[in-house]
Chains A and B, each alone.
Chain A
Amino acid sequence: MPKVSLTVNGKPASAEVENRTLLVELLREHLRLTGTHVGCDTSQCGACVVHVNGASVKSCTMLAVQCEGAEVVTIEGLAAPDGTLHPMQEAFREYHALQCGFCTPGMVMSAIDLVQRNPQGLSDREIREGLEGNLCRCTGYHNIVRAIAAAQQVMHGKVKELPRAAE
């Protein structure tokens, strides 16, 4: 079986995998990083989104062997070593942008990439269009859009602290 070596959440990792092993299977089953979820089998839902070399990727559509030498970041690797949450994680909690939590890891990873690709800032409409690849069945997206709109202000340095949601 081929061996794949890569960096996951800043740490070196390697595993022997089958040729057909998907990146998400490498993460979940070999490395036991179960924060990345599988919600479909047609690349529609986005629950499995991770960052590969800085860009968001649906890890169910990439083979593990394609990730040789890659830098992969998953939901488990977002917070600082001291536990300080990424502003997007913090915003999802503050704005009640999750309910069952199953789509959340992929949604957060997609949202971070979306914001990073758009330093000019995104309108609510653009955020909705940018979430085209991620499904959520619980929230109706309303609060996800609010969370991303708030987080981008922190990520772009417009404000130091995440704006609080109204009580």
Chain B
Amino acid sequence: MGFEGIGAAVRRREDLRFISGRGNYTDDINRPGQLHAVIIRSPHAHARIKGIDAAAAKAAPGVVAVFVGEDMAADNLGGLPCGWQVKNKDGSPMAEPPHPVLAVGKVRHVGDPVAVVIAETKGAARDAAELVSVDYEVLPAVPTLEAAQKPGAPLVHDGVAGNICYDWHLGDKDAVDAAFAKAHKVGRLELVNNRLIPNAMEPRAAVGEFDPASGDYTLYTTSQNPHVIRLLMGAFVLHIPEHKLRVVAPDVGGGFGSKIYHYAEEAIVTWAAGKVKRPVKWTAERTESFMSDAHGRDHVTVAEMAMDKDGRFLGLRVRTQANMGAYLSTFAPCVPTYLYATLLAGVYTTPAIYAEVKAVFTNSVPVDAYRGAGRPEASFLLERLVDICALEMGLDRVEIRRRNFIPSSAFPYQTPVALQYDSGDYTATLEACLKAADWAGFEARRAEAKKRGKLRGIGISTYIEACGIAPSAVVGSLGARAGLYEVANIRVNPTGSITVFTGTHSHGQGHETTFAQLIADQFGVPMSQVEIVHGDTAKIPFGMGTYGSRSLAVGGSAMVKAAEKIIAKGKRIAAHLLEASADDIEFKDGKFQVAGTDRAKALAEVSLAAYVPHNYPIEELEPGLEETAFYDPKNFTYPGGCHICEVEIDPDTGVVQVVNFCAVDDVGRVINPMIVEGQIQGGVAQGIGQALLETCVYDENGQLLSGSMMDYTLPRADDLPNIKVGTAITLCTHNPLGVKGCGEVGAIGSPPAVIGAVVDALKDYGVRHIDMPATPHKLWRIINANRPRMAAE
């Protein structure tokens, strides 16, 4: 056994099943007597449903049932709930229109579920779905932010005036106005943060099951948070009490946020299983994923930075419009507000900030958190604006950052937008990344590239994010309808092996390895003695799941707290066995030892005594060795760092090649560096995808043009470079592990570095900013339009 504790690049224990085809994903699950569901979805962005004729479908071979919205309404079921209420500037609550599971009366986006066909086979269900005739009266659609806000625009929801969900603000407007009044110069930027479609490789799937003998329901689903689904679906939609509803999220093939939310299909299969008294399975086809998985980003923003004569930031003013889509997805309202505007200080000492965010309903798929969730939007805005400020001041991009950094002596640092950063060293990550990327040698590389006819550019971002979500009282005061603690239950078995039940969920993050390392370290036992269990509400006491890079910072901290309770109890048992005082017992290297002696009991001896309490302090202690901890974090965690990207553009084609990418991140303490590197590389890949390749496109009628993998450009292997990753850490000061989180930093830090590099490559073409994605077509047009002028100069 090599070193496998904290800091070791232990190979992942989950891999054996995945590389040998023995994973257990939701669509791999087949229950006895299982039926198959096919969802009929709206082909229109906005239409009234005048009637649905399902008679032919119901009579088709193999069909068991066809259900429509009215069938669910007749059972008095609720709509899909929203988990976060944001308030308007005047204190009034946001507009929160109903979100029926199956559309009733009206459809509001292409892909809105209208009916479900349930049949013996998937083929029979598909065939019968073709026979369902829906009579639509097509209405004018408003698929974009611009269309939805035009005067007199059609309303997505009757009663939601102007399609405005909320008009929210944060910060000190007067202080910002005063800063601008005394500004030496102002940097200004208008930008679009492109709408993305998450595309986890595993399409969503759900299997509902009902046991008529017990009245118990079970849902197997592709979820990042099974307990949250149980709570939302049970309490708000289907009215099934939690003790009669089990939700299992088995192996899940990627989430990136898109599998946080409670989706209609989960409720449909669970409810339908109860109606037809047989298990019902639904698996999305990829085309359905494109039109039903929550999308990400989709902001339009104007930002201005006031600066003094030295380029120091005095005030930041931001106005953002955020697209909510047709309905409020589970956590949608908090993304462009509390996960966005609160990050606008970035790593800078800007003393005054004011942000206004208008959230708008459109005839498009609901938008919610996607990898980074609000923080990529904030970092893209801020880092692009800082580059513009450097141009405005005639300052070097690195120098303007240095001048404005929060110094490492200033922590804890209170920003003007609510957050208190606990630790960081922005100069350290900057310097390390400048060195790794050979920033100083760039001009020579640019000149060399020019000889080859290529336009070479370099870009930098020095970003921060807030994760480890979140202190329950804080988010509660901001409108969250949930607590955001995490739960760990540790069971030391009679023979000394350890089973850990965690409320977090792994869908690629490698929790079964990282958490086992952590527990092995806490208890001084080999990893082989530790089992990590997640993803089943019948096994795990409770949990809030995995998103916002919270699993280690919150879930790992809960494990430490539970381990402390186990060790405290173990000391009392050992003291009894060793005839010593509990105060004299130390726990070290897997042994309870009387301090200063060689008298000790191994963990397994203590656990055996706990379960076979023949010689046991039974008057003072209960038998058994199992403890649960709920850990509620005191603050967010604040990973940050520096990303540097170098690109070459072919001026004849506009094709961008990323030739170098370096990231140096401060993710707090690292448990498994191999897994951390992989998380950052994957995040950077999604960031490069956003910057260069990906975008969701609706036409003016609300048809989804980027509705398949043939139309939506996901990064492929030859689109991406090798991604160099390093860390320069400071410890989180408020959780017991000092960890911050690494799941999203890649996607948060990288897009501004990539676009900064593209803009730098085109600096002789009069370019100050380019909206994402910087496609060859877009760049070729810029290059081509500016060629004559350049030739004339």
Instruction: Give residues in A with beta carbon < 8 Å to B.
Output: 18, 20, 28, 32-42, 44-45, 47, 74-76, 78-79, 85, 89, 92-94, 96, 98-105, 108, 124-125, 127-129, 131-132, 134-145, 165, 167
Contact = CB atoms under 8 A, between A and B. Distances in A.
Given A99-B509, A100-B201, A92 B15 contact: yes
A79 B685 contact: no
A85 B15 CA distance: 12
Interface stretch (B156-164, B263-271, B708-716): B708-716
Contact of B678 (A38, A96, A134): A96
B287 to A, nearest CB: 6
Given A37-B25, A101-B18, A105-B21, A93 B11 contact: yes
A139 B25 contact: no
Interface string B507-524: 111100000000000000
B20 A75 contact: yes
Nearest to B18: A101
Of A101, A103, A138, A145, most B-chain CB atoms within 10 Å: A101
A108 B19 contact: yes
A100 B253 contact: yes
B636 interface: no
B598 to A, nearest CB: 34
Contacts of B286: 39-42, 45
Given A35-B23, A138-B682, A144-B717, 5 more contacts: A93-B11, A93-B15, A135-B716, A139-B685, A167-B9
B59 to A, nearest CB: 20
Contacts of A131: 716-718
Central interface residue in A33, A44, A47, A94, by most chain B CB within 10 Å: A44
A131 B509 CA distance: 23
Contacts of A129: 717-718
Interface of B: 8-9, 11-12, 14-23, 25, 27-28, 30, 123, 199-203, 251-254, 256, 283, 285-287, 507-510, 674-675, 677-679, 681-686, 708-710, 714-718, 720, 722-723, 746
Interface SS majority for chain A: loop
Nearest to B126: A20
Nearest to A35: B21
A135 B709 contact: yes
A102 B254 contact: yes
Nearest to B22: A35
A142 to B, nearest CB: 5
Given A34-B28, A137-B714, A139-B685, A102 B202 contact: yes
A162 B677 CA distance: 21
Contacts of B674: 96, 165
A144 B254 CA distance: 16
Contacts of A135: 201, 709, 714, 716
Contact of B20 (A18, A79, A143): A79
Given A39-B202, A100-B201, A132 B19 contact: no
Given A41-B708, A138-B682, A127 B717 contact: yes
Contacts of A32: 30
A45 B709 contact: yes
A101 B510 contact: no
Contact of B202 (A100, A141, A144): A100
Contacts of A47: 201
A44 B675 contact: no
Contacts of B677: 96
B18 A132 contact: no
A143 B678 CA distance: 8
A141 B685 contact: yes
Nearest to A20: B123
A99 B678 contact: yes
Given A34-B28, A99-B682, A131-B716, A142 B723 contact: yes
Contacts of A94: 11
A144 B286 CA distance: 24
